[in-house]
Amino acid sequence: MSTPKEIDIINGRFTDREAQEILLNIFSTKIQFHELKNLRSLEQTGKQDNVAKKRIPELRMGIDELLRIVAEAKKNNQILTIHSTITVSIVDK
């Protein structure tokens, strides 16, 4: 196992439009990843990928929450501060 490494992915202040664009792209990419993973599992094994099946609705709920936050910022003529760090470690299989 390696020492975890932290990588800043988002760190700044954004308009409602910018924040929505950045974050929806991340969520959409993750949903597409899990949909493809599930499809591959169905094609190869005839079974759904349980992790992907569970994760897709969680990500969609995250989008709903994100849209509520962005709408509130827009309504109040405010900006959004976003900080996102990814922690990466190498581990044994």
Asked whether the whole model's pTM tops 0.85, one would answer: yes
Percentage of the residues of the chain whose pLDDT score is greater than 70: 99
- Does residue 93 lie within any of the structural domains? no
| Closest listed residue to residue 84, CA positions, set 14, 16, 3 | 14
Mean pLDDT of 67-80: 98
* Domains contained in the chain, number: 1
Which residues does residue 87 pair with via DSSP β-bridges, in sequence order? 6
Task: Decide the pairing of beta strands 5-14 and 80-88.
Answer: antiparallel
Q: Reply yes or no on whether the pLDDT at 88 is more than 90.
A: yes
Residue type, 64: D
State the pLDDT confidence band at 8, using cuts at 50, 70 and 90.
very high
Supply the range of the domain harboring residue 15.
Answer: 5-88
What's the burial of 19, exposed, middle or buried (CB within 10 Å: 0-12/13-18/19+)? buried
- Does residue 47 lie within any of the structural domains? yes
